[in-house]
Amino acid sequence: MTIKICLLISFLVILAPPFCPQAAAANAADLGLSIAAEQGGMPVSEVAQNQTFSYNITLENNCLACPAEDVFLTVKLPYEALHVITEIYPPLPLDYSIRRSGDLLQAEFQWLPPGSSRYINITMTSPKVAPATLYVTARLRYDGDPNPGNNTITLSTYVPLVGYNKTEAAKSFEDLLHNQSYLLFSFQDLLMQVPQGADENYSFTASFEQLLRAQAHLTDGFVDLLANDSEFGWDADYGKDDRLYLLRSYEAMLRDEADLFLGFEAKINGSWRSLDGYGAPGHSMDAQWELLASLEDLLKRQVQLYKGFAILFHEIDEGADPQERVAAVEFLSSFEDLLRRQSDLLREFEDIMGRKFSQMGSNSWEEYSRVQPALGSDWDISL
């Protein structure tokens, strides 16, 4: 009898479905997610610009004995890509609903039978602008899931920039520099109105000087992008039209910087009385000397930028092409005007320095040379 009972128990164990530890609890199925980016039915990790692709999300009920009710799926789509359509497979039964608002998509499933799967296919169009990394995150919400660790998944898909274009990179860089100049002008407007007293005047003026120094450094980097490896003349990648366009843009940058440097000088002038005898905490040099030294350094940096303009200007071919001949005359006239602006700034710098010497009862460069190296060959612009 014992042997028969054991055989019967063994037979029943073989026929029984796999044990589901959460089967005794209501709404306790273990749900899981997987996701893949696909093109033409094949998984991909990269998608070209402005191409149709899809996210294929698999929603699984891993329990063979536990149905799941009221399952919510939320998908955060990449904001750079364009949503085309979302489809559920198999399409029947119609026990689900889909809603989308912007880059947030939600699907609700009323019933997932034990061991079943549903597939959510989301068709997208990749962005026109590259490079970009597209992130998509899918998240399940289901009460009582004993294993919530597999209810969230994130996938990244890369949109590469095919064929780096140096000309387009230079144009993108110059656009950023122009926008930053606009922000600096806005800061300068506030600088003339807001600060009161020696502490604020010094702090904001010194901050503005640091911003101008960084801008001049970035503009110098723009020149490096235009020049060839020998740092003399244009890189071979730039055609005639690109050279004219970029040199005009560079000219506009120099005008902006000249105006910003003039604004810095005006701020020093306007704050001169409040800064008389003021020393910033921890600084051994008084504020007037510090700002004079900063103005001198900025003017030297500007001369370096003018040198870069002169080098690129001389590489414009004013020979047979009428367009370039006219452009060369315009650039020469503009360069003359820029040099006049530089001359005006140097004159203002000299006037302020003379005022400082007068305060000290000195007519020499001795004191300034002690705290800042005298003007040297950096001021020469070779044409």
User: Tens digit of pLDDT for each residue in 305-363?
Assistant: 888 888 888 777 655 577 777 788 888 888 888 888 888 888 888 888 788 877 776 54
Q: Is the pTM of this model over 0.95?
A: no
CB hemisphere CA count around 255 (13 angstroms): 12
User: Tens digit of pLDDT for each residue in 237-260?
Assistant: 788 888 888 888 999 899 999 899
- Considering only residues 126 and 221, tell me which one the structure prediction assigns the higher pLDDT: 126
> DSSP labels for 190-220?
HHTTS--HHHHHHHHHHHHHHHHHHHHHHHH
Domain boundaries, the chain: 28-159, 166-379
Q: What is the mean pLDDT of residues 168-190?
A: 87
What gap in Å lies between CA 222 and CA 226, rounded to an integer?
7
Question: What's the pLDDT at 367?
Answer: 52
Q: What is the mean pLDDT of residues 26-31?
A: 75
Q: Please name the residue that has the structure tokens 């910003």.
A: 260
Q: Provide the CATH topology of domain 28-159.
A: Immunoglobulin-like (2.60.40)
Q: What is the mean pLDDT of residues 18-32?
A: 60
Distance of alpha carbon 173 from the chain centroid: 11
Kindly report the number of other CB atoms within 10 A of residue 247's CB atom.
21
Q: Is the dihedral of CA 349, 355, 357, 362 positive or negative?
A: positive
Contact 222, 180 (CB under 8 A): no
